[in-house]
Amino acid sequence: KPTLLPLCGIDDVLEGCALKVEEGDHAYAVYNVAGAYFVTDDMCTHGPGSLGEGELYGDIIECNFHGGQFNIRTGEVAGPPCMEPVKTYTVRVEDGGIFIEV
């Protein structure tokens, strides 16, 4: 059975926005797409960009460093210069909180 790691409350992530959340020594990016929540690693696979501090366009996150893009549902690259997909997590929403399975 997977462990649930709490990241933030559902009210912490505005609709259409991303949020960077640090837990221990790892950073995650939490996204709200019309009330559905998704989580990826925060660090861009291309360099030092923070996806949680990027711009969300629908289900595409644009990195704040070189403008590379990922699909937040699948982690697949959606725009250059990124080459490697970003890790995604299974999200659970319980009691007003956002959790990931780890």
Interacting residue ranges for ligand FES, rule: CB under 6 A: 44, 46-49, 63, 65-66, 68, 81-82
Q: Which is nearer to ligand FES, 16 or 47 (CB)?
A: 47
Please answer whether residues 67 and 58 qualify as being in contact, where contact means their C-beta atoms are separated by less than 8 angstroms: no
Q: Which is nearer to ligand FES, 13 or 29 (CB)?
A: 29
Q: What's the rounded Cα separation, in Å, for the pair 13 and 32?
A: 6
Minimum distance, C-beta of residue 53 to ligand FES, in the bound complex (Å): 11
Minimum distance, C-beta of residue 98 to ligand FES, in the bound complex (Å): 23
End-to-end CA distance of the chain: 10
